[in-house]
Structure 1
């Protein structure tokens, strides 16, 4: 019997986790230039939390199936670009915002935002990788132009992005300083190879300069604008701070006066990216490194689609240490 419907998590309007409802929807049909993917795993992101809370702006059209990323296998590609059952990843490009995303058994996305790969890693591990790797790789390569052997501060180190940046930085032989507000998460950071762990009490710059008196070469801001000034103060002259994340949900600096706000000679950049910013070669290399044991995917735990409310509650609590993944 041909399957005509699928299970999907639908957000009807912004609000509490109870607004996320598991529903039965028709399996989507790809139009010209689009591809249907059988979703095997979908990483969860704060972007989806922002959407649920109504912080994503007017670009989100509801009701909407959330999920800005997914991994799975090609189900139907009218363009013939990919053969059926090819392993693929996809992310961003409007997923979960302007069109239905990865919180479902199937999703349709533009073919130009599909990245093929080959791996025997479990789907839950693969599901944690795409957006996490794209953001981390882009932050290091584009936002920071990080170089082997440099020192790097990761502000918000126990977030999934922070942990992945640490993994990639150690592969570059960088010295990594990561922050956390929770002392109990220190062991998890040590497992990733983090060299120095700082308990974030709001005054990280002073603690960093006890290790590097001149300041670090590079820093990643993942908490947001409340800690950005302090992160800048932890960075050496001609060092770079990349603003990548907003775990605090605070995105702007009030009354920003650059000469007063920016320490002399410290550079401030930013990074945000799309699927095109994660080359297939980079994705494949990382998956091969994970399979070989030379890299780690910071996966916290997995949830079934029916457990999506629990998953969002955990994400909102900031108690997770690593990536959360939904398994359709």
Structure 2
């Protein structure tokens, strides 16, 4: 392992003291982690807050074997140490990274294949808000959903971090975007971000609205983070050969399906969750993002939608803010 001069062997991290509400997030002093083979050590500048952090804090989403038990799946910062096998030019680089956990800390490790250099077009807070949503949307909308130019996608949770990234990335690649949101205000915000249509699911039947918008044709893809009883309704929104991609199960893990409908319309049902996937798989995603998306990030054409930045010590407030459900875009913690 190659190490630059780190002035401390211990760090402050925000740990989950026990399963529960936001107040269980507590600062703890612990050892600075050491990068393993193929990893870098990052001095964290900012960390994104994501729904899986909330679920982990509640005790419902344990860290995979070998991963840090600390929350935090994405960070930005400066590379201060290299594990064996990492090219020396990474040292001192400003990067953002998809982590395997541990982002709520002064220092964090990440596989180098999950790191991307931060261009001048982004602040470090914006950079910290990119990896989790960008890897997730790219993997599911394009790799699994096979989204193509001029196709139409229905995205649930249109003003969430995932939803806003899906709008922006979809429009960047010429996809028509319809979203659902929980208020008229959020519908307006989603259209301002770039959605072609926004449906208030609390006052409108999104299945009927999809029929109206598409002239009865339906959409090619549904990107769904609700699951539960939404799945059967989503299938009614799909045209023949449509693709249904599940990325979260906020509405429940069980769904009742009409298998004859799936056969007759030749539908594809798929989905994924990012964190348990192998480092090799995530590195492949990182390489695709670097080649196909990062040039637009560098040119300033793609930035995350930012909601609010909280101080590192206020992680509990950041979680409470996310759970209140009024945010639009990404919530970030900053060490500054």
Q: Is 2:232 the counterpart of 1:226?
A: no
The CA deviation at 1:63 is: 9.4
Q: Is 2:216 the counterpart of 1:209?
A: no
Change over 3 Å in CA distance of 1:191–1:37 after alignment to 2: same
1:237 pairs, out of 240, 244, 249, with 240
The CA distance in 2 between the partners of 1:8 and 1:57, in whole Å, is 18
Change over 3 Å in CA distance of 1:169–1:31 after alignment to 2: closer
Partner of residue 170, structure 1: 171
Partner of residue 305, structure 2: 298
The CA deviation at 1:302 is: 1.1
Indicate the SS of the match to 2:23: helix
The CA distance in 2 between the partners of 1:175 and 1:30, in whole Å, is 42
2:55 pairs, out of 44, 50, 54, with 50
The CA deviation at 1:170 is: 0.8
CA contact (8 A) 1:51 1:60 kept: no
Structure 1: runs of 5+ lacking an equivalent: none
Partner of residue 162, structure 2: 161
The CA deviation at 1:25 is: 2.3
CA contact (8 A) 1:225 1:246 kept: yes
The CA distance in 1 between the partners of 2:254 and 2:17, in whole Å, is 28
The CA distance in 2 between the partners of 1:24 and 1:259, in whole Å, is 53
Larger mean CA deviation between 260-269 and 55-64 belongs to 55-64
After TM superposition, list the pairs within 5 Å mapping 1:98-247 onto structure 2: 101-111=102-112, 113-120=113-120, 121-201=122-202, 203-212=205-214, 213-247=216-250
Kindly report the root-mean-square deviation, in angstroms, between the aligned alpha carbons of the 2 structures.
2.5
Alignment: residue pair count: 318
Q: Is 2:333 the counterpart of 1:326?
A: yes
Q: TM-score normalized by structure 2?
A: 0.86
CA contact (8 A) 1:39 1:71 kept: yes
Indicate the SS of the match to 2:54: helix
Q: Structure 1 segments of 4 or more deviating over 4 A?
A: 57-63, 260-263
The CA distance in 1 between the partners of 2:170 and 2:51, in whole Å, is 23
Q: Is 2:261 the counterpart of 1:282?
A: no
Indicate the SS of the match to 2:104: coil
The CA deviation at 1:37 is: 1.2
After TM superposition, list the pairs within 5 Å mapping 1:62-81 onto structure 2: 64-79=69-84, 80-81=86-87
The CA distance in 1 between the partners of 2:16 and 2:242, in whole Å, is 42
Partner of residue 15, structure 1: 20
